[in-house]
Structure 1
Amino acid sequence: MTAFTMRREVVEALGRRQVVAVDTIAHVRPEDEGDVIVTGSHGGVSSGEYAGRVRIAAVFFNDAGIGKDQAGTAALPYLETLGIAAGTVSHDSALIGDAQETWSCGVISALNRLARDAGFTPGEPARDAIRRVYGENAR
């Protein structure tokens, strides 16, 4: 059996913000404040609680197939109450548990109001959207 290592790395710098890829949202750190997080974690309630511990600019989870009662996106409204833009990428576009997949292949499947207001759009590749919304030429 091969050991699985949870990865954490800065995948891009966008002006004063970094895009930090963490395989599990439990690896968000206080120094991530103001940054954009992409994670392989599902977008459920417990993931939202981890993400909400740090004042990040935005976070993108895996929708994990959405599930019963929208469980795979349940973090989104909670994070909205904390002022955090949040979304999910489709489990058909990115492997669950792999932040690099969320970053390189993920296609946005759901968004909270703050993310929509910031300019994110369902159906758009997450990486392209993050670069557009938070890049140098962002509004």
Structure 2
Amino acid sequence: MTRTSPDPTAPADAPRGATPPLEFGNRAFVGLTTQAVVTRGGAIAPGRAIVIDSPREFDASLVPIEPARDLLVHGAYMAEAVAISLLRKGLRGIIGVDAGIGRNDAGVAGLAVADALGVPAAAVSVYSCEMCDGRSVWTQGVISRVNAAAAALGAEPGQGVPAAAERMLAAPAGQVREVASRLPEAPQRLAAGDGGQVWGCWSMSLIREPHTADVFCVGTPVDTTMTVYMYRHGVRPAGVIGSDGGFGRAQMAIAGLGILERMGIACAAVSHLSADLGDGASIYHDGIVTKANRQAAAAGVAPGMRATEAAALLLRQAARHADAGA
């Protein structure tokens, strides 16, 4: 009889059947390697395209990343905050997912931030590949947007990711930079009521406590790697409201709805066209719900509802549960 060792990272009180797909996250591989080339414009240093599921796992990547020479291809969105976190590490170039592009082009706002620093960056269509799956992004992704720095090197919409990455690796070596963010880099309290609070953040990776009475409005799509982080770090809020990221291929941009349902956590997604991706406050103030999981629906959350109302309903449901358990 074969015995399976328990997952040492699993919270002791995790309910049976509530484990998200933990393989998502730091899976990584080398997509391609370029050699040193001497051109009329000068020497181009060798480089690699490193492919990973989530930039959140940059430091834990199964393939060590050398930012100065490497271009990173990842399965998350290309909003401003994501790009800033990677530019601070000194990457040579970046390719991510456009998350449907969304209102105010916020799903690809990181391209302009990179461009201001002369760093090539591109986004692939969320409809061409499975979000959070680096291998799908690499093998199936089709470029939808490029910044001027990437375009100058020959990257363009319609290319496959390997072709764009090879061209972008003609960029100069990356360098660590101080990059200011115009959005809050810590969770912001947006509202209070019924024993809990509503918080806004650009990523659930900013949260370190269970927050069982609180609701989080997060700027990311409600995707797989978000749920993996929550599981591994014991984050168990009363509810999560994020973006639908355009749903994407195989609806992977909202895969977290079902995963959190199995974890017993209410979750809803708002239209990527109604609120700015990457901005938790916009998700809360501007978002219009497109999808809700079973726990959120039980609280009264429904498509077409404003996120402000949905958050209030989730707080109310958590308060009722707390009173019943008192």
TM-score, structure 1 length as denominator?
0.89
TM-score, structure 2 length as denominator?
0.40
Match of 2:207 in 1: 28
Q: What amino acid is aligned across from residue 281 of structure 2 in structure 1?
A: Q
Match of 2:180 in 1: 3
Per the TM alignment, residue 15 of structure 1 is displaced from its structure 2 partner at its CA by: 2.2
How far, CA to CA, are the matches of 1:79 and 1:102 in structure 2? Answer: 19
The alignment covers a number of residue pairs equal to: 138
1:50 aligns with 2:237: no
Match of 1:103 in 2: 284
SS in 2 for 1:59: strand
Greater RCO, CA 8 A, separation 6+: 1
Match of 1:82 in 2: 263
Per the TM alignment, residue 55 of structure 1 is displaced from its structure 2 partner at its CA by: 1.6
How far, CA to CA, are the matches of 2:313 and 2:214 in structure 1? Answer: 15
Match of 1:59 in 2: 240
Per the TM alignment, residue 125 of structure 1 is displaced from its structure 2 partner at its CA by: 0.5
Match of 1:17 in 2: 196
In the TM superposition, what whole-angstrom CA distance separates every residue of 1:3-57 from its partner, at most 9, and x where no partner exists? 2252411111112111011111111221523210100011110012223431211
How far, CA to CA, are the matches of 1:17 and 1:129 in structure 2? Answer: 14
In the TM superposition, what whole-angstrom CA distance separates every residue of 1:37-92 from its partner, at most 9, and x where no partner exists? 10001111001222343121100111111100001110011101111000111100
How far, CA to CA, are the matches of 1:34 and 1:50 in structure 2? Answer: 19
Per the TM alignment, residue 118 of structure 1 is displaced from its structure 2 partner at its CA by: 1.3
Indicate the percent of aligned positions where both proteins have the same amino acid. 31
SS in 2 for 1:66: coil
SS in 2 for 1:10: strand
Root-mean-square deviation (CA, aligned residues, Å) is 2.0
How far, CA to CA, are the matches of 2:308 and 2:230 in structure 1? Answer: 19
Match of 1:113 in 2: 294
SS in 1 for 2:281: helix
Unaligned runs of 5+ in 2: 1-115, 117-178, 321-326
Q: Which moved more, 1:67-76 or 1:26-35?
A: 26-35
Is contact 1:28-1:50 (8 Å) kept?
no
In the TM superposition, what whole-angstrom CA distance separates every residue of 1:103-130 from its partner, at most 9, and x where no partner exists? 1100001111111111101111110222
Match of 2:310 in 1: 129
How far, CA to CA, are the matches of 1:82 and 1:36 in structure 2? Answer: 15
Match of 1:69 in 2: 250
Per the TM alignment, residue 133 of structure 1 is displaced from its structure 2 partner at its CA by: 4.7
How far, CA to CA, are the matches of 1:133 and 1:27 in structure 2? Answer: 21
Unaligned runs of 5+ in 1: none
Per the TM alignment, residue 132 of structure 1 is displaced from its structure 2 partner at its CA by: 4.1
SS in 2 for 1:74: helix
